Copies of this chain bind each other. A is one copy, B any other.
């Protein structure tokens, strides 16, 4: 039974079959890891891998590759580094592709080994627009190493339209395989998303896939994903129970319900809900006013995250008033 027929008051066929062409990238461990410094034990990560594989998800982003010496290994969990030994304990080869993120400026090319020698299939390069030259050098190395590549240009909501044009033009001829529209601050509404999807698709052309990575500060991560799907993107990022930095991401289970694609089976994902729900009280992703306000004002969630660690976290009027002053926005 198709999804449309569940809602009886509307005829079937109100949306196109663009839902059926979406590929899904789960970034539970990578983006969720920002909540707990990547301290997921190997058992959790293996269970996530197995559930995603059984569900037919396309990509699992399992963490960051990070330059050695940059972060104290005793202060974070193993998915901050994604060493081969750790990966081999939790993943098997199969149709579920393994992705790792690298931050421009926090990795050296020497530490990215040939894809043939790695459990990693895809590298996601996270960059700010002003670092694009360095991002492209990193991309060149990743392509030489044989990886499928993604470029996540962060915080697009803070750039001027011309800056977006510029980096898209650079990416169009770069050899990159996938580019994500990244709403790092949870600032976008669906009308922004529709505009950006068309811009990205127009600049990047047929050979580069366009996807989305949304944050849920204003309860728009899933809704913005729906808007993007409707406009024709190729892939969507999501996480189990919406875990992710600050308010979190698009919940994977809601996305699978919506996609209505027999290729995906939501049930193995549902088996993990209890385990992730139990983390939510401590890690505090989800709908909280400090995140909603930082999203609305289009600023980094850093100050909201600091506030969430305090007892007066919900005394938000002064936060709102400070950000409302014209010179602060």
User: Which residues on A are within 8 Å of B, measured CB to CB?
Assistant: 1, 6-11, 14-15, 156-161, 163-164, 187-192, 194-196, 216, 218-223, 226-227, 230, 241-242, 251, 253-254, 257-258, 266-267, 270-271, 273-274, 277-278, 286-289, 292, 296-298, 314-317, 320-321, 326, 329
Q: Which 9 A-B pairs have the closest CB atoms?
A: A223-B223, A274-B314, A270-B317, A257-B296, A14-B191, A6-B298, A277-B314, A10-B192, A7-B157
Q: In the complex, given contacts A9-B159, A218-B257, what are 20 additional A-B residue pairs having Cβ atoms less than 8 angstroms apart? A: A6-B298, A6-B329, A7-B192, A9-B157, A9-B164, A9-B196, A220-B222, A222-B223, A242-B287, A251-B287, A253-B289, A254-B292, A270-B289, A270-B316, A270-B320, A274-B314, A277-B288, A277-B289, A286-B286, A287-B287
Distance of A117 Cα from B163 Cα, bound (Å): 62
A40 CB → nearest B CB, Å = 18
A219-B250 Cα distance, complex, nearest whole Å = 10
Return chain B residues, CB-CB under 8 Å to A277: 288-289, 314
**Cβ-defined contact, B316 with A273, below 8 A:** yes
A273 to nearest B CB, angstroms? 5
28 contacts between A and B (CB under 8 A): A6-B187, A7-B157, A8-B157, A8-B159, A8-B161, A8-B298, A9-B157, A9-B161, A10-B161, A10-B196, A14-B191, A14-B195, A190-B227, A191-B230, A216-B219, A219-B221, A219-B251, A219-B254, A253-B292, A257-B296, A267-B317, A270-B289, A270-B316, A270-B320, A273-B289, A273-B316, A277-B289, A278-B314
B-chain residues with CB within 8 Å of residue A242 when the two chains form the complex: 287
CB-defined contacts of A266 to chain B, threshold 8 Å? 320
Min Cβ gap A216→B in Å is 8
How many Å lie between the Cα of A321 and that of B15 in the bound state? 26
Q: Which residues of B lie under 8 Å from residue A296 when comparing CB positions?
A: 6, 257
A267-B323 Cα distance, complex, nearest whole Å: 12
Task: Give min CB distance, A22 to chain B, whole Å.
Answer: 15
- Contact in complex: A274, B195 (CB < 8 Å): no
Partner of A297, one of B6, B191, B222, B320: B6
Q: How close is A265's CB to chain B, nearest CB, in angstroms?
A: 10
CA distance A117 to B11 in the complex (A): 46
Q: Contacts of A223 on B, CB cut-off 8 Å?
A: 190, 219-220, 222-223, 226
Q: Roughly how many angstroms separate A188 CA and B251 CA in the complex, as a whole number?
A: 17
